[in-house]
Structure 1
């Protein structure tokens, strides 16, 4: 009887001691907190053991304790709370701005935008990481090709650089005796092209001799002023004449020849119809006519 009671008391004490030293399972993580490296390396979590937590990558501690304690085989409640890191606005760069549709917190993206006349070099989007914004975009000014030269003219003004930049203006001038046709200046635009073709330099004499069109309400005629020509002659005394006068003389001579030919043809036909000794008529009839004429 004595042994039975003692044995029962020992069994009760063993159960009490065993239950009081119960180990805790490995802590579970969720949300934006993780176990520290030291806690991850632990395999056993006996009574009274502590486990430490920290904020996940890209998050910062907001409040609460990072530790929990194993008590009677259960972990205490974790009070640590974390919030996303704020990257803030990227550092300012010349002629560069950003569009923040997703804000500036961890994981958000920002679009890089260049001013007018500048082109983006590098990534067009930056993302907020735990260490800050990714990428380093920059804006480079747009340039145009080397200004074209023109015949019979020169470039009188242009930017100091070999390749004109956005907004650069090139001015042209014509040599003496030539007139400028088109725009006297061209400008480098935002797309890297000039806003117009370079001008041309035309000979003033060519422009004066160019046919002009005279328009009325119902009639359109084209007239040109012929140049003065010089005709030389040794004995006929021909000097300087206008081509219109020369044309009139030639036309008058041709008209006279044509009229003479028409008169000869008409006379010939008339004589053949009436008969004449000059156009091969009968010899007897010719003799009679001659005799009649002699009487």
Structure 2
């Protein structure tokens, strides 16, 4: 073999077995980033790059990438950046929370709070997020549900149980009872309850004047009838020939109607 042929083979072997440089910059990852700016490739075989963690992550071990025969490879595979822990997000009185994002209290996690039955969220935000510098915003606050004050119906009054002040807000579970003045009857619910949503479970009742209309009496008629009768007023009636009073000839107007019921038999 001539000298020139041998030299050519030697050069070919050296070129083919040479370790290649990296033609791309070191990889930028989700959690890790190179500590320096690497933007002028190529980089010779054996070049090492040290990485640091992005905000919100903590480093476990020394993270180093090395150019090995044209590609970047991590020297210590177990070294990594992990999500930074935020610790417990904090409990709220009269409420609870649950994770809605993530499975641990680490960077990127989100917890949402909800109030117990009968309590309302006062805070504008019902959640906290684990951020790079810790939990966002304050712990949400729950307060017992409040119902607006109520007024006594016209010709009626409020009967309170317990030391409650009229004209003040009422709390969840409190009950307000109503009563009408004499000669008036209650139309609606006798009591209303402050519900867990901060609203009364029923409207305030009304007090209506007790009025009895002139009755139609089969086989009888009313003596000197008026247009209507108020409570306690009496009505007299007579029966036709051949009929007699059912109980008595005079009946009284009551809240439930005429008592006793007028009829002829």
Which TM-score tier does this pair reach, normalised by the shorter chain?
0.5 to 0.7
Rounded Cα–Cα distance in structure 2 between residues aligned with 1:66 and 1:169: 66
**Number of the residue aligned with 2:120:** 119
- The answer (yes or no) to whether the contact 2:25–2:38 under 8 Å persists in 1 is no
Taking CA–CA contacts closer than 8 Å with sequence separation of 6 or more, which of the two structures ends up with the larger relative contact order? 2
Rounded Cα–Cα distance in structure 1 between residues aligned with 2:206 and 2:221: 23
- Residue 34 of structure 1 deviates from its aligned partner by 2.0
- Residue 89 of structure 1 deviates from its aligned partner by 3.8
- The answer (yes or no) to whether the contact 1:98–1:110 under 8 Å persists in 2 is yes
Change (3 A) 1:30 1:183: closer
**Number of the residue aligned with 2:192:** 186
Aligned-residue CA RMSD in angstroms? 4.6
- Residue 112 of structure 1 deviates from its aligned partner by 2.6
- The answer (yes or no) to whether the contact 1:168–1:187 under 8 Å persists in 2 is yes
**Number of the residue aligned with 1:93:** 92
Aligned pair partner of 2:158 in 155, 161, 178: 155
> Quick check: 1:130 aligned with 2:132?
yes
Under a length normalisation based on structure 2, what TM-score does the superposition of the two structures give? Answer: 0.55
- Residue 151 of structure 1 deviates from its aligned partner by 1.8
- The answer (yes or no) to whether the contact 2:154–2:207 under 8 Å persists in 1 is yes
- The answer (yes or no) to whether the contact 2:63–2:74 under 8 Å persists in 1 is no
**Number of the residue aligned with 1:81:** 80
Match of 1:201, SS state, is strand
- The answer (yes or no) to whether the contact 1:122–1:138 under 8 Å persists in 2 is no
Q: How many residues align?
A: 202
Rounded Cα–Cα distance in structure 2 between residues aligned with 1:114 and 1:226: 66
Rounded Cα–Cα distance in structure 1 between residues aligned with 2:170 and 2:207: 23
> Quick check: 1:59 aligned with 2:57?
yes
- The answer (yes or no) to whether the contact 1:166–1:188 under 8 Å persists in 2 is yes
- The answer (yes or no) to whether the contact 1:210–1:224 under 8 Å persists in 2 is no
Within-5 A mapping of 1:254-293:
none
Change (3 A) 1:179 1:244: closer
Rounded Cα–Cα distance in structure 1 between residues aligned with 2:206 and 2:178: 9
Q: Deviations over 1:174-211 (max 9, x none)?
A: 334545444332111233321122233345xx35x356
Larger Rg: 1
Return the structure number with greater strand share.
Answer: 2
- The answer (yes or no) to whether the contact 1:143–1:192 under 8 Å persists in 2 is yes
- The answer (yes or no) to whether the contact 2:128–2:137 under 8 Å persists in 1 is yes
> Quick check: 1:145 aligned with 2:142?
no
- Residue 76 of structure 1 deviates from its aligned partner by 8.7
Change (3 A) 1:212 1:143: farther
Under a length normalisation based on structure 1, what TM-score does the superposition of the two structures give? Answer: 0.50
Q: Deviations over 1:159-187 (max 9, x none)?
A: 44712222222122333454544433211
Rounded Cα–Cα distance in structure 1 between residues aligned with 2:47 and 2:147: 72
Match of 1:65, SS state, is coil
Rounded Cα–Cα distance in structure 2 between residues aligned with 1:197 and 1:225: 39
Within-5 A mapping of 1:199-210:
199-203=205-209, 206=210, 209-210=212-213
- Residue 30 of structure 1 deviates from its aligned partner by 3.0
Rounded Cα–Cα distance in structure 2 between residues aligned with 1:174 and 1:200: 8
